[in-house]
Amino acid sequence: MTHLGTAPHKAEKTTKIPRWVLGLGPLVLIAALIALFSLLNAPGLTGLGDDRPPEEAVVVENIELTDGLITLTVRNEGADPVTIAQVIVSDYYAGLTQSENQMTHLESNTVTVSYPWVQGDPYDISLITSAGGRVDATIDAAVLSPDKGTSFFGLMALLGIYVGVIPIGLGLLWMPFVRRSSPAWIRGLLAFTVGLLVYLTIDATLEGIELVRDNASYGGPLVVLLGAVTAYLILEGIEGWAHQQTTNPATQPATQPATQPAGTANPAQPAGMANPARLSPQMLSLLIAVGIGLHNLGEGLAIGSAYAVGSLALGASLVIGFAIHNTTEGLAIVTPLASQRPPLTRLAILGLIAGAPAILGALLGATVYQLTLAAFLLGIGAGAVGQVAIKLLPMLKDTTGRTLTPLTAGGIITGLIFMFATGLLVIT
């Protein structure tokens, strides 16, 4: 029996397309369209610019000197293939051998030049391409490149310890001073830390851009910004995950409330300091250690590459300068722990996180040093310390809620000036 005013229900068949098909479909259509255009020789796709001369853009990435040989690593940044035909060293043609007869886009080539160079003399080198192009490089003072054996890599590891681990370990000895400081002094020290991190952010960014300013391979200066954004987002993700773990009731101990009553002071926060309500002092010190560690990775790269190309005096000056420069980084790590009594093992782990990457950087710089990689790692260091500086800002607030007071503004300025003054010791 059918009721008036109602229609019999009809079962409708609906076929759902899988979601992965919906996502992949446009890509398949684009690929098919490009293939069709190429097959039909669509106007504008082929033959464009056949009559123009080749565009040659070659950069010299590295120079090594051994007995009677000059070895250059070059890379083709342009879209057109490039062939190195001749080499001129200080107005004299020299014999050469190559690992590649022709370099395609972004391909590298090792050019070995036979030339009786003299220790300490300067040399101008010109690579002549088959199309008549010229690629210039300069050796200010010829120095025998060190033999990269076991003792050399041991030296690099030792230099990383000198630059990263020892100075930061000495900086951690400020922990008793920090623990006995008043809340106002703690805010001043945190402001000093912010100034230190801001300086490191700017310094690493400018150094990375300078490295690839004249090298457009792999995006040039863009790789610095890519590294900075990547590091910033990774640390933000780690912080968000840690915050979820600490605020999730399922992860809270049964004897502790999941949330803290409003208006109750955080016992982990020094009296008189505003609670950022997001990061614990332990997490802040860990983020600072990670950020400084990523920055020290770039410093290790600079030292390792200086020794690898034979700039031994430059490498020594970098070691001394960076060692003095990095001592206050230990202070930056322990300052958020002012109200804590962390065990020595935790402090040692934080010191290694911040300092040990200098060892890895020195080894990388001495072996696989490449300008774009170095710039990317410097960008990562800049993004990491910049992210930590932002996270420290809420801890500068006084009892009235103001962040920039005469005390904190003076602390930031002092941190900037101190890092600038010690940075003058780093001769580059």
240-299 pLDDT, tens digit each: 776 776 666 555 555 444 444 443 344 444 444 444 445 678 888 888 888 888 888 887
CATH number at residue 117: 2.60.40.10
Of the chain, the end-to-end C-alpha distance in Å amounts to 95
Same domain, 133 and 196: no
Order across the sheet with 108-114: list the strands: 58-66, 69-76, 108-114, 92-98, 84-89, 123-129, 134-139
Same domain, 93 and 238: no
- Note whether residue 256 is domain-resident: no
Same domain, 75 and 121: yes
Same domain, 294 and 155: yes
Tell me whether strands 58-66 and 69-76 are parallel, antiparallel or unpaired: antiparallel
Same domain, 116 and 176: no
Same domain, 64 and 188: no
Same domain, 101 and 175: no
> pLDDT band at residue 303, thresholds of 50, 70 and 90?
confident
Question: Comparing C-alpha atoms, which of 329, 336, 344 is closest to residue 270?
Answer: 336
Q: What is the pLDDT of residue 267?
A: 40
Same domain, 128 and 167: no
Tally of domains in the chain: 2
For residue 410, give its domain range: 150-246+270-423
CA distances from 6 to 2, 12, 13, 198 (A): 7, 17, 21, 73
- Note whether residue 145 is domain-resident: no
Rg (CA), the chain: 29
Same domain, 290 and 325: yes
Looking at residue 302, its amino acid is A
Task: Report CA dihedral (188, 191, 193, 196) to the nearest 10 degrees.
Answer: -120
Could you give the count of Cα atoms lying within 13 Å of 239 in the half-sphere of its Cβ? Answer: 24
Looking at residue 323, its amino acid is A
Mark which of 112, 139, 166 sits at the end of a domain.
139
Same domain, 402 and 327: yes
pTM of the predicted protein model: 0.70
Same domain, 157 and 87: no
- Note whether residue 33 is domain-resident: no
Instruction: Provide mean pLDDT across the span 2-19.
Output: 62
> pLDDT band at residue 315, thresholds of 50, 70 and 90?
low
Same domain, 190 and 132: no
